[in-house]
Structure 1
Amino acid sequence: MEELTIHTPADVLSFVGHTLGFWPQESLVCITMSDNRIGATLRVDLPKPGTEISYAQTVAGYLAHDTNASSVLFAVYTSQAEEASEVRPHAATIAALTGALAERGMSIRDGLLVGDETVCQYDGGANGPSLPLAATQSSQINAEFVYRGSTIEPTNRITLPASTKETDTADAVQDRLKALGNLKVGDALEQARARWTDMLESTSYPSRDEIVNFIADLQFPVIRDRLMADIPGIDERMDRILLAQTHDKPEWSRVEWAQQLLLHAYTHSSTKHSAPILTAVAFINWWEGRGSKAHQFLQLALEADPAYHLARVSDIMIGSGVVAGWNMNKGTAYRDPGLEA
């Protein structure tokens, strides 16, 4: 694949948008650089006042995992950019980040301030030149990404496929749950794993009966955890797989297919059976570096079942800024270089 060359602020914003898949809002985006080559892309929500130092240390810690990086390009996305002021929005954050990066041997290479309608150099002063955001649509980088089939969504809000929530499907799942309850745990687990493996290795969506079995399997925590750990195709301890701390690289195409299967199952599930499905999808998004989407799926799982324990504790973990270990290593990270925390 031909390498992309970034020349202008519009190119930078197009690269960020296509890398993340959406247009950031009230966010700090950092791109690591080694000489003139781009490394990792990180997006985080802008900090609350008074938390700038701890926030900067956390962000710098994430960026430092790119051991080849020597400098960082940043962009502050905020509606405050439209206000005429000599003091740039979130100046304390950038000052703290500059110091935190210096402690790790990195420097700020350049910065952009992105408002609702314009973009300008962060350190260019209130009267510095600006560029309309519409210029990103005609940038060379945007054209190349669009040619490759990439799109930029206006926000990072997820859109779930419509759920049929069929009564007969819900009843069929309940019947299957009763049948599973009569099996020994080991036998039920073995059968569930065999069915799930067949689905992951197939190239077509499963039948209705297979979906009913799958939805029922996920209702049992011991089976749910094992099936989730089977997704990446890694033969290591289950806890290390679920927490993305393995040495081996996940089979990312298998992970992507697993998400499609789970969303397909969601469209056939009733509300009371959907929490484990949405939680599994949340884990996949976290594994792939999409922390904010993982949070949204976990919130949807908790809407379906407010007492769903795995969704609740996982949301606390992700909300604290924990990034999946696979994304801390270029050899195991998801191929999309965009990362959210």
Structure 2
Amino acid sequence: MTAPQPLSFHGPEDILAFIPHSLGYWPSSSVVAMTLHGTRLGATLRLDLPGPAGLRRPEAFARAVRGYLQADGDADGTLVAVFGGTAGAPAPQLHQLLMLELYDALQRAGMPVRDAWYVGDRYWRGAFCVDSSCCPEPGRPVQQILDSRLYAEMVFQGSTVGPPPDGSPIGDQWAADYLAAVRAARTAWRRKLQRRRGSREQFHLVLTYWAAVLGRPAGEPLLPAADRDGFLLATLMVPSLRDAVLVQAAAGRTTAVAGAAQFGLLRDGPFPRPLSPLPAGDLPGRQPGGDAGSGSGTGVGTSAGQVFGYGDVLLGLGPEVPDWPQLEALDRMLAHLALVGGKSAAAPLTLRGWVAWCRGRGSVAAAYYCRALRAQPQYRLARLLLELDQRGTICGWAARKEAAWQKFSTDPERGTGQLG
């Protein structure tokens, strides 16, 4: 995996250009706050703008923002952008009280606001700028952000800005004949797995198969394989296998197996012989009993043999650093499997939501959970994770700089990193 190139910020246009690429979409009716470590960017937080009552009395909202940002213990400053306005232009008169309350709350928390902006659909302006030659009415064109040097650099690095997450359902996107073949394979594999539920050997074989699928070389195209996709979907329909696949990707095989054993989910028999689309001897990659992490034999950010509880992994409390490349590979495969549509899409959509939440993208996570619940309204894991997200819980990894997912590098040792 090629490390991302460092990013350099030369002015406010570059900082504002970073926000939609960091979030994955252009925010609207939002407050975005970014922590600073000297001249380096830290964490990015996005929250919905409060309603009219909250704008009139924004103290509670400002305290919430302060509480979230204090999770970044190294922060010594902040940047704030309010996305919203009227007629395409920012509306300082609507949001000025909110901005002042944020300024005061963050100042008292030791994270003073270094700069702030109002961003509308077509214009933007500095929140504290009173120079009409710099910030003329109704503001400076948003096109300046889109034409900025940093925006071009991020596009060159392969970053894209997608549509905002809205929770709309995903329709079937596979060709009809392939979709029918996958669904038939899923049904057949589900029956076979049901006969082997609790089998220790089948459990290990499922994890080995998933590790092999996720271990494909980066950039290698995923060729159609109805039996493979049907098998993977069938495994995600078994909660014990689904959870183990997720834990293995984040924390390694040892933790996935130990957790299942702790819950009494694994037995030695008698069961029919274990099955997968390929015989165990033909599967590439790690075999049962090893770690499925970075390939070094230990989970990322852990000492050899260290085991974490499933709850710790699901909340991002362990391991110290998850295996981000494996989670990214898992997310790509889940995106592919979600195209099956119908109730079977609930599991891959829910797990995609969890990966997004681990990345610190709570809004994206909530959209995936909502899509999963549209596919299967009583899907328990989606309901639980959506409730966790709606309570404002931040993934433990996302709250720690050394563990958080990094889409871009802003290290001044490899680039200027200076904020204009």
TM bucket normalised to smaller: 0.7 to 0.9
Deviation readout 1:197-234 (Å, 9 max, x if unpaired)? 22222335473222211111111112211111112144
Give the Å deviation of 1:125. 5.7
The structure that has the greater radius of gyration is: 2
Report the Cα offset of residue 26 of structure 1.
Answer: 0.9
Tell me the alpha carbon deviations over residues 43-87 of structure 1, each in whole angstroms, 9 at most, x when there is no partner.
Answer: 2211224443332222112212222222211111102386797x6
Mean Cα deviation higher: 163-172 or 210-219? 163-172
1:304 & 1:261 partners in 2: Cα distance? 18
Partner SS, residue 153 of structure 1: coil
The one of 61, 74, 77 aligned to 1:71: 77
**1:44, 1:84 → 2: CA distance?**
17
- What are the ranges of 5 or more consecutive residues in structure 1 without an aligned counterpart? none
Find the counterpart in structure 2 of residue 175 from structure 1.
188
* Match in the other structure for 1:196: 210
> Which amino acid in structure 2 is aligned with residue 307 of structure 1?
Q
- Which piece of structure 1 moves more, 137-146 or 210-219? 137-146
Between the aligned partners of 1:173 and 1:317, the Cα distance in structure 2 is: 30
Q: Is 1:244 aligned to 2:249, yes or no? A: no
Find the aligned partners of 1:31 and 1:84 in 2 and give their Cα distance: 20
Partner letter of residue 159 of structure 2?
A: S
Partner of 2:150: 141
CA 1:142–1:84 in 2, change beyond 3 Å: closer, same or farther? Answer: closer
Aligned partners of 1:41 and 1:337 also within 8 Å: no
Q: SS at 2:406's partner residue?
A: coil
Q: How far 1:186 sits from its partner (Å)?
A: 3.2
Equivalent of 2:228 in 198, 207, 210: 210
User: Where does structure 2 lack aligned partners over 5 or more consecutive residues?
Assistant: 256-307, 410-420
**Matched ranges for 1:1-341 at <5 A:** 3-51=6-54, 52-80=58-86, 88-124=93-129, 128-129=135-136, 130-153=139-162, 155-156=164-165, 162-164=173-175, 166-187=179-200, 188-203=202-217, 205=222, 207-234=225-252, 235=255, 236-267=308-339, 269-336=340-407
Name the CA distance, whole Å, in 2 between partners of 1:63 and 1:252.
Answer: 23
- Listed one character per residue, the Cα deviations across residues 84-111 of structure 1 (whole Å, up to 9, x for unaligned) are 97x6322332233223323322211121
Taking the aligned partners of 2:24 and 2:142, their CA distance within structure 1 comes to 17
Q: Read off the aligned partner of 2:20 and give its amino acid letter.
A: G
Q: Is the 8 A contact 1:11 1:139 kept in 2?
A: yes
Match of 2:285 in 1: none
Question: CA 1:291–1:324 in structure 2 vs 1: closer, same or farther (change >3 Å)?
Answer: same
Paired AA for residue 59 in structure 1: V
* Aligned equivalents of 2:199, 2:97: Cα separation in 1: 56
- Considering fraction of residues, name the structure with more helix: 1
Q: TM-score scaled by structure 2?
A: 0.73
The Cα of 1:304 is off from its aligned counterpart by 0.8
SS at match of 1:185: coil
Identity of aligned residues (%): 29
User: 1:251 corresponds to which letter in structure 2?
Assistant: D
Letter in 1 for 2:206: A
How many corresponding residue pairs?
336
